[in-house]
Amino acid sequence: MKASHFTPQFVESIPETLEPGVLYVSMSLASVIHLCACGCGQEVITPLSPTDWKLCFDGENVTLDPSIGNWSFQCRSHYWIRGGKVRWSGSWSTEEIADGRAHDRERKEAYYSHHDLTQHDRSSEPVAIASVGEDNSLRLSWLRRVWGRLTGSD
Q: Which tens digit of pLDDT belongs to each residue from 5-62?
A: 999 999 999 999 999 999 999 999 999 999 999 999 999 999 999 999 999 999 999 9
| Burial class of residue 153, CB neighbours in 10 A (0-12, 13-18, 19+) | exposed
Residue 131: C-alpha distances to residues 8, 32, 51, 86, 143 (Å)? 23, 14, 10, 23, 12
Short-list 70, 56, 61, CA closest to 132:
70
* Average pLDDT of the residues in 80-87: 97
Q: H helices of the chain, where?
A: 94-113, 136-151
Largest separation between any pair of C-alpha atoms in the chain: 48
- Could you read off the pLDDT of 88-100 as tens digits, one per residue? 998 899 999 899 8
- Asked which of 38-47, 102-111, 145-154 is least confident by mean pLDDT, the reply is 145-154
Q: Residue 114 corresponds to which amino acid? A: H
Listed residue (148, 152, 147, 154) closest to 28, CA to CA: 147
- Classified as helix, coil or strand, 89 is coil
Q: What pLDDT score was predicted for residue 117?
A: 56
What value does the mean pLDDT of the chain take? 82
Cα–Cα distance measured from residue 84 to residue 73, given in angstroms and rounded to the nearest whole number: 22
Q: What is the pLDDT of residue 150?
A: 53
Name the DSSP class of 129: -
Chain Cα centroid distance, residue 48: 7
Give rounded-to-5 percent helix, strand, coil for the chain.
25, 30, 45
